A and B are shown apart, each in its own frame.
Chain A
Amino acid sequence: MTSWHNHLIILPILLPMIAAAALLFVDERSRVMKAMISLASTIAIAGVSIILLQVENSAETFDGVYLVGNWVAPFGIVLVLDGLSALMLALTSLLALATLVFALARWHAVGAHFHSMFQILLMGVNGAFLTGDLFNLFVFFEVMLAASYGLLLHGSGALRVKAGLHYIAVNLVAALFFLIGVSLIYGTTGTLNMADLAARIPEMEADRRMLMEAGAGVLGIAFLIKAGMWPLCFWLPTAYSAASAPVAGMFAILSKLAIYVILRLTMLLFGAGPSAGFGAELLLFGGIATIVFGTIGVLASQALGRLAGYSVLVSSGTMLMVLGINDGAVSSGALLYLVSSTLTIGAFFMLIELVERGQDAGANVLAVTMEAYGEGEDEVEEGGGLAMPGTMAILGICFAACGILLSGLPPLSGFVAKFAMLSAMMGAGATGVPPTAAVWTLVVLVILSGVAALIAMTRAGIRAFWTSIEGTVPRVLVIELVPVMFLLSLTLALTLQAGATMRYMDTTIRTLSNPTIYIDAVRNAAAIGTRAGVQSQETGGN
């Protein structure tokens, strides 16, 4: 990577920060101006992150270390760009672009500082993906959380304020767990830099390492709350379904951010060495419980918003379970699943608002109840069918695509991802080692959760598109439909480029499971103006 590319690494953090600050100076009444600044910044971030993804994809060697303030690794702040963070950055920025365009239709006018908070959220998320040390992770996490509190409350109303109150309280407690975990790790190892930390773990004596592991466990609780692992997930469906549509769409990335951190830290700190496999069983069983809980929730949801909220739990549970199994081939399938399910859920949250706009308030809440008690089958069958208005047709197609993606049916990327995961799991049998009980459980659960999603989506779809045809057709702007279709077409692109995508995921997972590459890159990154590799040469395993 040339030095020109290297400086791009900090832009995903700087751009939204500058945009958010600039937006505060713009008069509140000039909404077009605010929207333009926000949109320009988001497009620029998307451009930068796609360039970074391409550079990372074509790079032969690992060289994405950016020393902020030109201080060398364990002492200064580092930003690290590898395959995983580049992928997550690109995913975030594309999702942000879609949700922002969606919000421009009407939502951004509902409250005062929507665009500033949106940009700050982007800054926090991007920073958390890029940062190379634990305390900055905390800072970026808090930046992201503070913005998410504001965004969740955006639009106000008793329901949002109540959900927001619970959300803030839960996340403040999670932040305290985060701090306890970080300070325990600092107290035992004397470092906060993730690469330095990983290098020091093998040298620690047993009792100190135990305390460090306790710290990592406490840290893990903070992220598992955010990722929504059962039993820490009860706030999630309520909060996500209370948020306004574009905000909920953007929130789809937040639980994936927690998954990203867990993936990064387990691979880096507990991939090999004396602490190998720490917490894997907890992730496995927690993931199983989360999928079961999420699946039941998906089936039991009466409102579409809650259905989407529980789908977030199902996808978190699947990721956690795969992390618990910790098998390279399965993980690369899971990475594709992460990308695909984030895009799907983001699109689904926005689609829900469009679909529900044409329905009576509360109609969805009654839907399941009506099924249970019968609903008067006296409607006259009209021959020839009704002419579907164009809007409904497009919404229906998008809805069907979401259903296919959530349940993992062919031909979209949900299928490719689940197929890659399942075939990797079953592939263990071909090499002579029979799949373990955990693997069988995962296979069964992944398929069952897909079936449950299919049932729930079909039921909701019939309710929304067939039986309510005499209701008003929702008035939907093109600017609202385009982002939904954009996200769904991205999943189509993922399917068409499945080979290239899977190769990228494989490379990423292979780099992740060999943490010495990461550790060496961070430790040997030289400050500008000094010779390369002056400091710490004792990194093992070259």
Chain B
Amino acid sequence: MELVLSIAIGVMTSCGVWLILRPRTYQVIVGLSLLSYAVNLFIFGVGGVKSNVPPILGDDILPSTLADPVPQALVLTAIVIGFATTALFLVVMLASRGLTGNDHVDGRN
């Protein structure tokens, strides 16, 4: 489980880094999305990898048998914020495409 998670994070990060170094805005935005997925998985990872356990505390339940709720809350917030900023970036990208007539990050081919 840990291995799968870390390989997934590593692959997505390396693809993301390669893509954001490309000169086209569309590639940059896909790269940023991949990076943010990788970061979100990473946040999950720091809470300890557990499957099929709820993060809800009740009576007579040992905390060690629970999933850490904080990373889940963090990921939720990070997803919402990342989603909003990516949408905003897309709009700016389209504006840039409209104003300069191409999709190069510097507006020049």
Binding site for B on A (CB under 8 A): 135, 138-139, 142, 145-146, 149-150, 153, 156-158, 161-162, 164-166, 168-169, 172-173, 175-176, 179-180, 182-184, 186-187, 192
Q: CB distance A158 to B107 under 8 Å?
A: yes
Q: CB distance A173 to B39 under 8 Å?
A: no
Binding site for A on B (CB under 8 A): 20, 25, 28, 32, 35-36, 39, 42-43, 45-47, 70-71, 74, 77-78, 81-82, 84-86, 88-89, 92-93, 95-96, 99-100, 105-107
Q: CB distance A172 to B85 under 8 Å?
A: yes
Q: CB distance B46 to A184 under 8 Å?
A: yes
From A135, A168, A192, give the contact of B89 (CB < 8 A): A168
**What is the minimal beta-carbon distance from B106 to any residue of chain A, in angstroms?**
7
From B39, B74, B96, give the contact of A162 (CB < 8 A): B96
Interfacial chain A residues near B39, Cβ < 8 Å:
176, 179-180, 183
Interfacial chain A residues near B77, Cβ < 8 Å:
135, 138-139
Question: Can you list 27 A-B contacts with CB-CB less than 8 angstroms, sorted by A residue number?
Answer: A142-B81, A145-B85, A149-B85, A149-B88, A153-B92, A157-B99, A158-B100, A161-B92, A164-B92, A165-B25, A165-B89, A165-B92, A165-B93, A168-B88, A168-B89, A168-B92, A169-B28, A169-B105, A172-B32, A179-B39, A179-B42, A180-B39, A183-B39, A183-B46, A186-B47, A186-B71, A187-B47
**What is the minimal beta-carbon distance from B16 to any residue of chain A, in angstroms?**
9
* C-alpha spacing A172/B105, complex, angstroms: 15
Q: CB distance B100 to A172 under 8 Å?
A: no
* C-alpha spacing A165/B94, complex, angstroms: 10
Q: CB distance A139 to B81 under 8 Å?
A: yes
Interfacial chain A residues near B100, Cβ < 8 Å:
158, 161-162
**What is the minimal beta-carbon distance from B68 to any residue of chain A, in angstroms?**
9
**What is the minimal beta-carbon distance from B26 to any residue of chain A, in angstroms?**
12
* C-alpha spacing A314/B12, complex, angstroms: 37
Q: CB distance A169 to B107 under 8 Å?
A: no
Chain B binding site: helix, strand, loop or mixed by DSSP? Answer: helix
Interfacial chain B residues near A149, Cβ < 8 Å:
85, 88, 92
Q: CB distance A146 to B88 under 8 Å?
A: yes
10 more contacts with CB within 8 A, not counting A135-B74, A169-B20, A175-B81, are A138-B78, A139-B77, A146-B88, A161-B99, A164-B92, A165-B89, A165-B92, A179-B42, A182-B74, A184-B46
Closest-by-CB residue of B relative to A166 is B105
Interfacial chain B residues near A142, Cβ < 8 Å:
81, 85
Closest-by-CB residue of A relative to B36 is A176
Shortest 6 CB-CB contacts between residues of A and residues of B = A187-B46, A183-B43, A158-B99, A183-B46, A142-B81, A161-B96
Interfacial chain B residues near A138, Cβ < 8 Å:
77-78
* C-alpha spacing A153/B106, complex, angstroms: 16
* C-alpha spacing A166/B92, complex, angstroms: 10
**What is the minimal beta-carbon distance from A208 to any residue of chain B, in angstroms?**
12
Known contacts A176-B39, A183-B43; is-contact A169 B32 (Cβ 8 Å): yes
Interfacial chain A residues near B43, Cβ < 8 Å:
179, 183
From B35, B95, B99, give the contact of A173 (CB < 8 A): B35
Q: CB distance A186 to B85 under 8 Å?
A: no
Interfacial chain A residues near B28, Cβ < 8 Å:
169
Closest-by-CB residue of B relative to A168 is B89
* C-alpha spacing A138/B80, complex, angstroms: 13
Q: CB distance A179 to B20 under 8 Å?
A: no
**What is the minimal beta-carbon distance from A144 to any residue of chain B, in angstroms?**
12
Known contacts A139-B81, A149-B92; is-contact A180 B42 (Cβ 8 Å): yes
**What is the minimal beta-carbon distance from A147 to any residue of chain B, in angstroms?**
10
Closest-by-CB residue of A relative to B17 is A173
* C-alpha spacing A172/B90, complex, angstroms: 12
Known contacts A169-B20, A173-B20; is-contact A179 B78 (Cβ 8 Å): yes
Interfacial chain A residues near B105, Cβ < 8 Å:
165-166, 169
* C-alpha spacing A182/B86, complex, angstroms: 20
Q: CB distance A192 to B92 under 8 Å?
A: no
Interfacial chain B residues near A157, Cβ < 8 Å:
99
**What is the minimal beta-carbon distance from B71 to any residue of chain A, in angstroms?**
7
* C-alpha spacing A192/B77, complex, angstroms: 14
**What is the minimal beta-carbon distance from A184 to any residue of chain B, in angstroms?**
7
Closest-by-CB residue of B relative to A182 is B74
**What is the minimal beta-carbon distance from A475 to any residue of chain B, in angstroms?**
29
**What is the minimal beta-carbon distance from A85 to any residue of chain B, in angstroms?**
22
**What is the minimal beta-carbon distance from B96 to any residue of chain A, in angstroms?**
5
* C-alpha spacing A153/B93, complex, angstroms: 12
Interfacial chain B residues near A175, Cβ < 8 Å:
81-82, 85
Interfacial chain A residues near B74, Cβ < 8 Å:
135, 179, 182-183, 186
